[in-house]
Structures are given as structure tokens and as C-alpha cells.
Structure 1
Amino acid sequence: MNKLLKKTLKVVLPILLGGFILYWVYRDFDFAKAEDILRHGTNWGWMLFSLFFGVMSHVFRGWRWKQTLEPMGAHPKTSDCVDAIFVSYATNLILPRVGEVSRCGVLAKYDNVSFAKSLGTVVTERLVDTLCILLITGITFLVQMPVFMQFFAETGTKIPSLVHLVTSPWFYVVLFCIIGVCVLLYYLLRMLSFFERVKGIVLNVWEGVMSLRKVKNVPLFILYTVLIWGCYFYHFYITFFCFQFTDHLSFLAGLVMFVGGTFAVIVPTPNGAGPWHFAVITMMMLYGVNATDAGIFALIVHGIQTLLVIVLGIWGSLHLSYVNRTRK
């Protein structure tokens, strides 16, 4: 019964957290206007172009993953690596952060790749991605810091008092996001302690982590990494041109919102729902977009990008079964 309760909570709590934040963000929102923009005010040509980058980011990640597996003597099919990435992101919609484990299970099932070793390569990937986002964040902050200072100087914005901060609903949105991250870290530590009790698992994971040292073509690995993050950015930035109220936003403005949204999805909610909306809307208002239009942008863009993840997940699952059945 306890195991069933824990599994249920792992599914329900992220959904409740995301739903709570979405409620606060959109509690007084004009959904009729959002529907009208979706039908008549969206440039679908630009939207489809942005989705292309969304697909390619997964493809490049699959190619890079295969490259880190090869030093361990694992040679999975390229299509299986890409499909596993598709499935993992779709899995994260149901169980946040479980997708990283599920893609290792896919290769273990279809290509006989050691689960523990492939999990180690995933850890390596995440370390590389963390360094990338920290580098992007540092550059963005240095480049755009004068913009923030100018904004506060021209608008006369004052830092809110502690009393006002505590009584603001946005304070509780951020608070719940922090709590969600703490819960995620707790479960990750629990998983690590479990692995330590299983003989041989840690050594295999460590071997996978260290596989990066033996990657044959390091420049190609770096190229894949640059392409992955470039695709992530353009997947988001190009959506600015889908709407009249955001097509004037600059490249650097897109970079600031991209960084904020990237950190927001760390909160364990389905595809960052809630925290991502909060971050993007807040930063978009910083660049002069009114709250309603910013809310419409976040709602439509996040909804379509989530739909893409679902479609790719279904495709990846079906393609895995069909290709491997045919080859057998």
C-alpha cells in the first residue's frame, strides 16, 4: 500500500504543483482573447519553423548520446538512440525526471546496452548541459545587465519591502517552485543511496560517466552540444515572430527569457508547466509586453511545444517497435 501511495504521489504532486502555479498566473486571464489569437492572430509558418528546431534538438541529442556509448563497446542503432530521446521527453510529462531512466531502459531492451553504463552517460550529458546553461547564463547577464539597470532607472521601480513581498501571490509561486526543487533533490539522493546498496551498479554508472574521456571525435561532440543548445534557443526565439505583440523583441531579449525559462523547468512539473509560464511572462513584461499578451504567448507556445513532445513520444514508441520487429 505504501509503495502504491508513493507512486501515486510521484504522479499527482507534480501535476498539482504545476496546476497551482498555473491557477495563480491565469486566475484573472481573458481566455477568449487567447482563443481569438490562436485562431486568427498566429503566424503558423513561423510556428512550424520553430517546431523544426524542436525536433532537431532531440535528433542531435540522440546522435551525441550514441557517441558517448561507443567507448564502452555499446553500438546501439542510431534511430533507437533518437527514438529513446523522443520517448524520454514524453515520459517526463507524466513522471518528471523519470524520462532519463526510461531512455536507458529502451536501449537495454532493444540493443542490449548495459542499463547502468548508459545511465552513467546520461549523468555525463547532464553535467555537460549544466556547464552550457551556466555559460549561457553568465554571458547573458553580462551583456544584458545595463538593460535591467536602465529599466529600473527609467520606471522608478523600487525594491519591494519585505511585508509587500510576503503578501504577494508571486512570492508563494516562487516558494512552491523552490519546495518542488527540494523534493526533486531528495528523491535523487534516495535513488543514489539505493544504487550504492546494489553491488556493481555504482561501478558501471561511474564507467558510463567517465566515457566522455574516451570519445573518439571530441570536435563532433562539441558540435552536437552547440547544435543542441542552438536548436533549443531557436525553438523558443522563433515563436516571437508568430505574434504581432512579440515580433519586435530582440535576439538578446529572447536570450534572457530563454535562460529564465530553462531554469524554470528545473521545477518538477510536467514540461515545466506553471514555473515556465511565470518566468516567461514576468520577463516579457520587463521588455514592455503587457501582461495579457505575455500570458497569451506563454499559454499558446507552451501548449504547442508540449503537443510536439507528445507526438514525438508516440512516434518514437511506435517506430522502436516497428523497426526492431522488422530487423529481427
Structure 2
Amino acid sequence: MDRKKVLKITGSVLLGILFLWLAFRGIEFSEVMESARGMTWWWLTPFTAATLFAHYIRALRWEMLFTNKEKTPSKITLYTGVMFGYLVNIPLPRVGEVARPVYVARQVGESNSKIIGTIVLERVVDLIGMLLLMAFVVVFLIADPQVLSRLFGIDITNTDTQIDLLLTLGIFGIIGLSGIGLLYWLFKLAAEKTEGKIFEIVTKIQKIIRTFVDGVLAIRELKNWPLFIFHSGLIWVLYIFMTYAGFWMFDMQTEFNLGITEAIVLTVVSAVGISIPTPGGIGSYHLFITKALFIFYGVPEATGLAYATISHAATLLIIFISSPALLAIDKFLGMKNEGDIEQRTSDVQR
């Protein structure tokens, strides 16, 4: 393992530890355990079903982005790729986003860069969905800006803060666009001016980028837009249901009057927490959920932390169990298909 990767993993682990410390700071562990003892376990059944189904729908939506029908993976391969990516993301944050398409590419003999392009496209769609849901939550479900200021630790009602945020976004946007323009200019200049080995390297890089862009632009060839949008919406609906099912383990739906509306808010908060590059969302998820439950709905922090810890552990356990099982099933079916093809070829030759 190279030094850069070790530093990245170490930084991710330390970040997770920091968030865990912030989540548990000021809370007695005995109080968390006491809250966990009184929970009901039946909620794990619908929670597990919703988790597995949400990831399967993600695989079905991913299938729609494959334009080469001869190299379109089977549903089980795509589903295995999705779960394998989540498994890799636990010890290696964000690496699963690469491991997932590489696994599928090897199964069907497709270009790695092209399938990675479909992942980028999928993440853009997810980001748009999250931003729309976040806007809905902020505008319609959390009307008090002071509550949002307490949650994020900044005064969003302050004009100077708003200007600073806009300037920061603008600066990052300009830097990003400038970087892309500079990269394009360098490639064009190198392709025109150089020969021999450097020219070959530049040509290969350009080919990879072109293939990657083809994957991203697969959206242009999408035939069934309504189904694609339906799958995208259904994924979020299942995520919200997973959050809602978790309320029942501590009787939150009765004691704190938490329902679907509150589940939508918590789903957005959890999406922000998980997006932080900690191992499997450990620490960041716990802190964001605990604070959101306390600030928005008055749920004691010990109870909120118990909810976050157990729901997160259940999610990891589902991934740990299902991913190896799917890898074994996909490998078995792949070997079986290869055997059937060889048998048919042998029969034809006779």
C-alpha cells in the first residue's frame, strides 16, 4: 500500500474518531446503554428489507445507463457491484465508488473509465435529488432559520455570512472551471507539439477521458426517462422509510410524535453526515443524527445517540452479510453461464 493511500486512510479514521468523540462528549455511556435496553427489535425486519430493496433499485437504475446492450451486465452483477462498493467504502471512504465499476467492468469486459463515467452521472443525479429534498426540508419543514443556525453552527440569517458563503462557492466554481480549461489546453498543446513517447501517453490519457465522458453522456441515450426518475425517487422514499422504521425501536413515534415528516428531515441530515469521508459514515452520522434529534424534536441526546448507533450498526451488518453472499452467487452464476456457453459451442462443433 503506497504512502498516499495510508495517509488518506489514517486521516479518514482520525476524522471518524473526532466525530465520535464529539457525538459522545458530555453523554454518559451508561445512559446510552440504558436507552438501548428498552428498544424493540422487530423494526429490524422492515429496515433490512427496505435497505436491500433500495440498493437493488439503485442497481436497476444503473442498468439503464448502459448503452451497449451486448455488454450490459446482468442485474445480479450490478446488484453485487453496488453492495461491493458499499463494503469497500467502510474501510476506504470513496474508494468503493471506483471498486464498484471496476468489478462490473471485469465481469462484462467493458472499459473501466466508461463505467466510472456512469457512476459520476449517477452521483450527479443523487446530488440533485438531495439538494431538491434539502430545499423542500428547509423551506417547508423547518421554517425557523434560528433552528438551522443552531444545527450547522453558523448564523445563516446574517447577511455577512450569506455573502461569505456565496463568495466561497463562486471562488470554488471559478477554480474548478479554470482547472478544467487549463487541463484541456495542456492536452491540446501536448498533442500538437510533442511526438514519440510523450505523444503516446497524452493520446492514451485523452482516450481514457473520452471514454469516461461517453459514460457520463449516457444520459443522452436514456430511453425511459419516467422510469429513471421513478427509480431515483423510489430510492429516496426507501431511505426515508428506513429512517421512519428506526423511530419505532425507541417508541419515538409515540413519545416524541415523530412521523414521516420528521423522517424526511432526518434523512436529509443523515445524507449530509454520511457524505463526510469517514469510514462508513462512522462518527459523522452519529453526531449529525444525535444533534438533529435533540435540536429539532427535543429527543434526549443519549436516546438519539443510541438510535444512531444501532441503526448505523444494523446498516453495516446488512452490508457485511449480503456483500460476500452476493459475490459468491454472482461468481457461481458466471461460472455456470461460461459452462453453458462452452457446452453449446461443443455441441455446435459436433
* TM-score, with length taken from structure 2: 0.76
Matches within 5 A, 1:39-50: 40-50=37-47
Return the match for 2:286 from 273, 277, 295.
277
**TM superposition shift of 1:94:** 1.3
1:90·1:312 contact (CA, 8 Å) conserved in 2? no
In structure 2, C-alpha distance between the alignment counterparts of 1:269 and 1:222, rounded to whole Å: 29
In structure 2, C-alpha distance between the alignment counterparts of 1:102 and 1:70, rounded to whole Å: 21
Return the match for 2:242 from 235, 244, 252.
235
1:18·1:272 contact (CA, 8 Å) conserved in 2? yes
What is the match of residue 6 of structure 2?
8
Matches within 5 A, 1:26-41: 26-38=24-36, 40-41=37-38
What is the match of residue 319 of structure 1?
329
Question: What secondary structure does 1:56 align onto?
Answer: helix
In structure 2, C-alpha distance between the alignment counterparts of 1:218 and 1:160, rounded to whole Å: 39
Query: Which amino acid is the alignment partner of residue 266 of structure 1?
Result: S
In structure 2, C-alpha distance between the alignment counterparts of 1:72 and 1:210, rounded to whole Å: 16
Structure 1 position 292 matched with structure 2 position 299: no
Question: What secondary structure does 1:57 align onto?
Answer: helix
Structure 1 position 98 matched with structure 2 position 105: no
1:80·1:320 contact (CA, 8 Å) conserved in 2? yes
Return the match for 2:220 from 213, 218, 222.
213
**TM superposition shift of 1:98:** 1.0
What is the match of residue 166 of structure 1?
none
1:71·1:215 contact (CA, 8 Å) conserved in 2? no
What is the match of residue 306 of structure 1?
316
Query: Which amino acid is the alignment partner of residue 8 of structure 2?
Result: K
In structure 1, C-alpha distance between the alignment counterparts of 2:153 and 2:73, rounded to whole Å: 55
**TM superposition shift of 1:310:** 1.8
User: Cα gap change, 1:305/1:57 in structure 2, threshold over 3 Å: closer, same or farther?
Assistant: same
2:46·2:245 contact (CA, 8 Å) conserved in 1? yes
Q: Deviations over 1:235-273 (max 9, x none)?
A: 122101111245521322221121111112121001211
Q: Structure 1: give runs of 5+ residues left out of the alignment.
A: 163-181
Return the match for 2:274 from 265, 270, 288.
265
In structure 1, C-alpha distance between the alignment counterparts of 2:153 and 2:292, rounded to whole Å: 17
In structure 2, C-alpha distance between the alignment counterparts of 1:291 and 1:274, rounded to whole Å: 14
User: Cα gap change, 1:160/1:224 in structure 2, threshold over 3 Å: closer, same or farther?
Assistant: closer
User: Cα gap change, 1:116/1:151 in structure 2, threshold over 3 Å: closer, same or farther?
Assistant: closer
**TM superposition shift of 1:128:** 0.7
Query: Which amino acid is the alignment partner of residue 205 of structure 1?
Result: F
What is the match of residue 111 of structure 1?
108
Matches within 5 A, 1:78-227: 78-146=75-143, 148=144, 198-227=205-234
**TM superposition shift of 1:143:** 0.9
Q: Deviations over 1:70-92 (max 9, x none)?
A: 35753111110011001001110
Over the matched positions of the two proteins, sequence identity in percent amounts to 25
In structure 1, C-alpha distance between the alignment counterparts of 2:293 and 2:24, rounded to whole Å: 15
Which one has the largest radius of gyration? Answer: 2
1:72·1:208 contact (CA, 8 Å) conserved in 2? no
Question: What secondary structure does 2:270 align onto?
Answer: helix
Question: What secondary structure does 2:132 align onto?
Answer: helix
Question: What secondary structure does 1:318 align onto?
Answer: helix
Question: What secondary structure does 1:76 align onto?
Answer: coil
2:92·2:279 contact (CA, 8 Å) conserved in 1? yes
Q: Deviations over 1:184-236 (max 9, x none)?
A: xx9xx99xx7xx75230110011111111111222111111111111112112
Larger deviation: 119-128 or 23-32?
Answer: 23-32
What is the match of residue 63 of structure 1?
60
Query: Which amino acid is the alignment partner of residue 258 of structure 2?
Result: L
What is the match of residue 167 of structure 1?
none
In structure 1, C-alpha distance between the alignment counterparts of 2:28 and 2:335, rounded to whole Å: 49
RMSD: 2.8
In structure 2, C-alpha distance between the alignment counterparts of 1:205 and 1:59, rounded to whole Å: 24
In structure 1, C-alpha distance between the alignment counterparts of 2:313 and 2:335, rounded to whole Å: 33
Equivalences, count: 292
Query: Which amino acid is the alignment partner of residue 216 of structure 2?
Result: V
Q: Deviations over 1:125-184 (max 9, x none)?
A: 1111111011111111111233x36979xxxx9x9999xxxxxxxxxxxxxxxxxxx9xx
What is the match of residue 22 of structure 2?
24
Larger deviation: 44-53 or 60-69?
Answer: 44-53
